[in-house]
Amino acid sequence: MSRHLSTYGLSPEKMSELLRIGGDEHDYEKDIAPEQTKAELLADRLSEPLLLDSSLSKLLPSIPGLLSNVIDIDAHEPIGDILQNPEVSISLLMKVRHYFNRQSKDTQSKVECAVSLALYYAAIASALVFHNNKITKFSYEDLELAFASLIKKTWIPGEIVSLYSRARKICQITVNPKIDNEK
């Protein structure tokens, strides 16, 4: 009887098969395209609330109101909404930029680094588009090049690409005011 409780009624053959599968050294991540992995991770990040200190994340279910006051946002507002909201303060966009800049440097994963950098530049783009405020020391020329590169990434969703495109246009006009007059 105890044998069935610990193995959930599986036969020794089935248990052996499960252990073999679990122990395989096959790398299942290699079967997934890196672009798809980035797209999925970015979609997850855009739908998550911003937690500026990952050690606080375990406290979120018990004190969401207090936590949201500490980090100056609604704990339920997804990062994607923050980036697309013209009413969001510059200080919050700077927190988002800083958070993802730090995340890009702290990870060993190339996928996580790419996604963090995409969100870092999305925060910069949001500040440019909605507040006409450059929240980085990068030059407008450097930003324009970064946005141009990010626009081409197939794993970045359309609403973020649109934000990059609008920010890129602002950078181009700032660097070369004749572009605006040519329209």
pLDDT in tens, 41-81: 999 999 998 765 544 444 444 444 444 444 444 446 899 99
Tens of pLDDT, residues 108-149: 999 999 999 999 999 999 999 999 999 999 999 999 999 999
Task: Judge whether 10 lies within some domain.
Answer: no
Total domains present in the chain: 1
In the beta sheet, which residues pair with residue 49?
A: 78
Task: Judge whether 161 lies within some domain.
Answer: yes
Lowest mean pLDDT among 27-41, 106-120, 158-172: 27-41
Q: With the CA atoms of 102, 131, 163 and 152 taken in that order, what torsion angle do they form, in degrees rounded to the nearest 10? A: -60
Task: Judge whether 11 lies within some domain.
Answer: no
Task: Judge whether 139 lies within some domain.
Answer: yes
Q: Is the pLDDT of residue 10 over 80?
A: no
Task: Judge whether 20 lies within some domain.
Answer: no
Task: Judge whether 24 lies within some domain.
Answer: no
Residues 6+ apart with CB under 8 A from 83: 46, 93, 96, 119, 122, 123, 125, 126, 160, 163
Task: Judge whether 17 lies within some domain.
Answer: no
State the pLDDT at residue 54.
Answer: 47
Average pLDDT, rounded, for the chain: 80
Task: Annotate 111-164 with DSSP letters as a single string.
Answer: HHHHHHHHHHHHHHHHHHHHH----SSS-HHHHHHHHHHHHT-TTS-HHHHHHH
The boundaries of the domain holding residue 135 are: 32-181
Q: Tell which wins on pLDDT, 166 or 33.
A: 166
Residues 6+ apart with CB under 8 A from 116: 100, 101, 103, 104, 107
Task: Judge whether 7 lies within some domain.
Answer: no
